[in-house]
Chain A
């Protein structure tokens, strides 16, 4: 895969970061040596010894439960222990299917003769244990990991193998409507914080044997379960391999959110544009997988990453494909104009007011000049003040606790807007410009990080050099975007890499029965996604 960023700049920046000790010099920080590494890993045949070792490992923890019991009748019983963490297991299954099955049902059914059995564990697993998911484990590292993940461990006296039974169950937020990605028409389910629930939500969308989930654990302390999802045969193998390579290189204390993973695997860490997309809804993920992308699920967060991510995805929305084409084409154009206006409107306003008066129609010019009568600040300062106030309001709206909610709308609208204009601190056109800019920004929230920065960048350029400055800024941003790649795919594809066929989903949205092929820039080998059915027609009258 070709690289487009400057090589010597990269080295210079790296050396600079190393000098200021922000970036380590390939140091392999040694973890404080944990107990897991010093102990011998094998279990012993004596239950006592195993118990002592495990109790020592979990010493100090009050939520690890050791339940000792006997399997079998009084004279023929075998001591056993189950270990689990209170709250992380489905206690019904533990009670009914593990403890009851082994304590009571074995006695009643006499399914396994207990004396002198060499392979009691296998017998238990096959004949007595009525839990669905169990596995033999014989090293203490896996045992400890299993306990910490919510599994139940069964140890039996006289055997150096244990059973790891998966009977997980904990309190979690149920599958609810996603608030950040709302649709009018379309499924409303959003992911939750549990990995398994999320993968199931995706499996329900794509019931194909080619949907592959590859799991791994990342993070020294958090051991977060991370899952790569892709459709074998559609996704580009190279991207999957490259992704696996990058994920295996992550060496960090903990992965708390998918954003951490994003930061470690992205192509251009210093760019303001995200090259990895995210979503909270399974139908969006399914659609992206069907186009050839790869998804990354992270345990503990409902945000799923999708890559490669291209700039055009900013104006594409899942609802687009559930509604009718003409309307959606129109909405796409609106979104695109919103993108332009949210970045450029304040800057153009400043440029028009300060440098290029001839651009504004005469009557409007007079109105604006009258509105600006007596305002103490130049246009640039006015717009910057209003833009910063807007950002503060927006951030406050997100973070504040619900009871205080009303205050923000009142304070924002009435006090800052109305009163500031009446007091003559800012002019009404500036308020209007910033308000419209802000609202347009909400239309394309996925690029919010880059849009805010660009807005300020262009505001300064416009104040400094008028339209010429804006133009230079546009050229800079364009050059930057043209050189960005997301896992080998150019960021500006398909706008700037000219496969005209792919444009059918960018500037317009052609009806679904016209979308014969997947986007070719994903590099998948399986291009056709539509059979030969053509346009829907009413049946001919006979």
Chain B
């Protein structure tokens, strides 16, 4: 255990909801729309089911080793060599997914608000903030998320509610015009969002009451999916067919909102809140990456590692993808299978092997 910080259950719920929601509403609505069209919001029901299963797997695995993270107990389950390999895989995974997130959010800021600013600026800025947070410990991250979460949820729901008058619910029908196949394909794209609950595997040792983590996880998945239905349904209701052509549909809805001619074009304020959510996500993954590396190397104090790892993430975020189109393509193409393996497949395998080994004793 590298630090004494503990997060409460409420904080882990807030953390997971923030993590999943903040990037879901970035790129995914339009990507999913291309497949599922007006039934996109139904994909979230299946996602909920899938999410509950994933949470169940990860928490069962984690609860078997209450004070160890996945890096540590994978060595116990499959032996030292394989465990070390798995550790490296997870470390690289956390860095890669963070690079993805940083790139997504830099692209958003760049294209919508700050066209003249170099992209490196956003990445460095957010990573410096994340470094400060990670160095202060997971308890601080939990508390910051507890403060930011209500604002985040209120603003995001507020946008959807305020856009109500622009919504045309005819855009949502006909339901299931093309059958279930497009819906399932849309769900397939969203799987890796649910896989982000893998952070639970790293955070279970730092929970106040580990036994409740399953309930917390399920609450977060259900809330996230309900929120997602609200948002996605709202977006499609407002834009209908256009959703597929917009890169950032939620931002477009925010721009659309106009109350009494005064509260209008509020998108910069939305941006602030949204970025708060993205910051929480980045700092949690940053923390997981650093923790993974520190445990892999058996170091006592993870703090010296934070800034270098952050630096790697910044650089990767800039050089891995040339533009947002390639990123979106990867997001719905190449990246899904490796991510799903890491987020779901490996825990399933570890769980099976662990259970078998337990039976042996």
With A468-B113, A470-B272, A475-B279 already in contact, the answer to whether A361 and B262 are too (CB < 8 A) is: yes
- Contact bitstring B111-125, A, C-beta under 8 A = 1, else 0: 001100000011001
Does A60 touch B at the CB level, under 8 Å? no
Does residue A171 face the partner (Cβ distance < 8 Å to B)?
A: no
The answer, yes or no, to whether B40 is at the interface (CB within 8 Å) is no
**Interface residues of chain B: helix, strand, loop or mixed (majority):** helix
C-alpha gap A475/B130 in the complex (Å):
9
Tell me if A374 counts as interface (CB < 8 A to partner B): no
| Cβ contacts under 8 Å, B301 to chain A | 8
CA distance A84 to B129 in the complex (A): 63
Is A492 among interface residues, defined by CB-CB distance under 8 A?
yes
Stretch at the interface among A16-24, A63-71, A124-132, A477-485: A477-485
Contact, CB under 8 Å: B136 / A483: yes
For residue B148, which residues in chain A have a CB less than 8 angstroms away from its CB?
478
Interface residue from A358, A474, A475, A496 paired with B143 (Cβ < 8 Å): A496
A78 proximal to B (CB < 8 A): no
Q: Are A472 and B126 neighbours in the complex by a CB distance under 8 Å?
A: yes
Q: Are A482 and B147 in contact (CB under 8 A)?
A: yes
| Contact B268 A467, beta carbon cutoff 8 Å | yes
The answer to the question of B201 belonging to the interface, with a C-beta cut-off of 8 Å to chain A, is no
| B331 close to chain A: CB less than 8 A | no
* Sample (10) of A-B pairs whose CB atoms are under 8 Å apart: A474-B276, A475-B279, A476-B132, A479-B132, A479-B136, A483-B137, A496-B143, A496-B146, A497-B8, A498-B146
Beyond A4-B136, A483-B139, 13 extra complex contacts between A and B, CB < 8 Å = A355-B114, A358-B265, A361-B261, A466-B114, A468-B114, A468-B275, A474-B276, A478-B147, A479-B136, A483-B137, A496-B143, A497-B8, A498-B11
A355-B129 Cα distance, complex, nearest whole Å? 22
- Residues in B whose Cβ lies below 8 Å from that of A356: 113, 268
B306 to chain A, nearest CB (A): 10
Q: Verify if B269 is at the interface (C-beta below 8 Å from A).
A: yes
Is A2 on the interface with B (CB-CB < 8 A)?
A: yes
Chain A residue with the shortest CB-CB distance to B6? A2
* A6 partner, pick from B147, B262, B268, B303, beta carbons under 8 A: B303
Taking the closest CB of chain B, its distance from the CB of A276, in whole angstroms, is 21
Bound complex: CA of A351 vs CA of B136, how far in Å? 29
Is B226 positioned at the interface, with any CB of A under 8 Å from its CB? no
Is B348 engaged at the interface, CB distance under 8 Å to the other chain? Answer: no
> Across the interface, which residues of A come within 8 angstroms of B125, CB to CB?
465, 468-469, 472
Rounded to whole angstroms, the CA-CA distance of A437 and B272 in the bound complex is 21
In the complex, B318 has a CB within 8 A of chain A: no
Contacts of A8 in B (CB 8 A): 301, 303
Contact of A475 among B122, B129, B268 (CB under 8 A): B129
Whether the pair A471, B144 counts as a contact (CB closer than 8 A) is no
Q: Does A495 contact B (CB under 8 A)?
A: yes
**C-alpha spacing A496/B266, complex, angstroms:** 27
Q: Contacts of B268 on A, CB cut-off 8 Å?
A: 351-352, 356, 358-359, 466-467
> Does residue B135 face the partner (Cβ distance < 8 Å to A)?
yes
B329 at the interface (CB under 8 A from A): no
Which of chain A's residues 1-57 have a Cβ closer than 8 Å to chain B? 2, 4, 6, 8
Report B18 CB to chain A, min CB distance, Å.
Answer: 13
In the complex, whether B185 has a CB less than 8 A from a CB of chain A is: no
Q: Is the interface of A mostly helix, strand, loop or mixed?
A: helix
> Across the interface, do A359 and B8 meet the contact criterion of CB distance under 8 Å?
no
Chain B hits for A150, CB < 8 A: none
Query: Does A441 lie at the interface of the complex (its beta carbon under 8 Å from any beta carbon of B)?
Result: no
In the assembled complex, A490 has its CB within 8 A of some CB on chain B: yes
> Which of chain A's residues has its CB closest to B262's CB?
A361
Q: What chain B residues lie within 8 Å of A482 (beta carbons)?
A: 136, 139-140, 143-144, 147
Chain B interface residues toward A at CB < 8 A: 4-5, 8, 10-11, 109, 113-114, 121-122, 125-126, 128-129, 132-133, 135-137, 139-140, 143-144, 146-148, 261-262, 264-269, 271-272, 275-276, 279, 301, 303
Question: Which residue of chain A has its CB nearest to the CB of B10?
Answer: A498
* Distance between A339 CB and nearest chain B CB, rounded to angstroms: 14
Residues of A within 8 A of B271 (CB): 467-468
4 closest cross-chain pairs (CB), A and B: A482-B143, A496-B143, A356-B268, A482-B140
B276 touches A483 (CB 8 A): no
State the interface size on chain A (CB cutoff 8 A): 33
A490 contact set on B, CB distance < 8 A: 143
- Alpha-carbon gap, A361 to B265, bound state (A): 8
Q: Nearest-CB distance from B27 to chain A (Å)? A: 19
Q: How far is the CA of A478 from the CA of B129 in the complex (A)?
A: 10
Contact of B133 among A361, A467, A479 (CB under 8 A): A479
Q: Is the pair A471, B275 in contact by a Cβ cutoff of 8 Å?
A: yes
B272 contacts A478, CB within 8 Å? Answer: no
Which A residues lie within 8 Å of B276 (CB)? Answer: 471, 474-475
- The contact string, 1 if C-beta is below 8 Å from chain B, for chain A 243-278, is 000000000000000000000000000000000000
Instruction: Please state if A492 and B143 are interface contacts (CB–CB under 8 Å).
Output: yes
In the complex, chain B residues whose CB is within 8 Å of the CB of A6: 135-136, 303
B residues less than 8 Å from A359 (CB atoms): 265-269
Contact between chains at A478 and B144 (CB < 8 Å)? yes
Residues of chain A in range 468-520 having any CB-CB distance to chain B below 8 Å: 468-472, 474-476, 478-480, 482-483, 490, 492, 495-498
A463–B143 Cα distance when bound, in Å, is: 29
Question: Cβ of A479 and Cβ of B114 under 8 Å apart?
Answer: no
Which residues of chain A from 337 to 360 have any CB-CB distance to chain B below 8 Å in the complex? 351-352, 355-356, 358-359
Q: Which residue of B lies closest to A358 (CB)?
A: B265
Q: How far is the CA of A352 from the CA of B5 in the complex (A)?
A: 39
Please name all residues of chain B whose beta carbon is closer than 8 Å to the beta carbon of A361 when the two chains form the complex: 261-262, 264
A351 CA to B113 CA, complexed, in Å? 12
Residues in A with CB closer than 8 Å to B136 are: 4, 6, 479, 482-483
What is the distance, in angstroms, from B207's C-beta to the closest C-beta of chain A? 14
Tell me whether A498 and B8 are in contact (CB under 8 A).
yes
| Interface residues in A344-382 (C-beta closer than 8 Å to B) | 351-352, 355-356, 358-359, 361
Give the complex CA separation of A2 and B140 in angstroms: 13
- Please measure, in the bound complex, the distance between the C-alpha atom of A471 and the C-alpha atom of B267, giving whole angstroms: 14
Give Cα distance in the complex from A361 to B263, angstroms: 8
The 8 A CB mask of A445-475 against B (1 = contact, 0 = none) is 0000000000000000000011111111011
CA distance A492 to B311 in the complex (A): 30
Question: Which residues from A are CB-within-8-Å of B121?
Answer: 465
Which chain A residues border B128 with CB–CB below 8 Å? 472
Q: Which of chain B's residues has its CB closest to A467's CB?
A: B268
Note all chain A residues with C-beta closer than 8 A to B133: 475, 479
Q: What CA separation (Å) do A497 and B276 show in the bound complex?
A: 19
Q: How many angstroms between the C-alpha atoms of A88 and B258 in the bound complex?
A: 72
Complex-state Cα separation, A302 to B221, whole angstroms? 55
Shortest beta-carbon distance from A296 to chain B in Å: 28
Residue of A nearest to B261 (CB): A361
Distance between A333 CB and nearest chain B CB, rounded to angstroms: 15
Asked if B4 contacts A496 (CB within 8 A), the reply is no
Within 8 A of B (CB), among A215-230: none
Q: Inside 8 A of A358's CB, which chain B residues have their CB? A: 265, 267-268
Q: Could you tell me the distance between the alpha carbons of A466 and B275 in the complex, rounded to whole angstroms?
A: 13
**Once the chains are docked, how many angstroms separate the CA of A468 from the CA of B135?**
22
Contacts of B129 on A, CB cut-off 8 Å? 472, 475-476, 479
- Bound: A495/B10 CA distance, A: 12
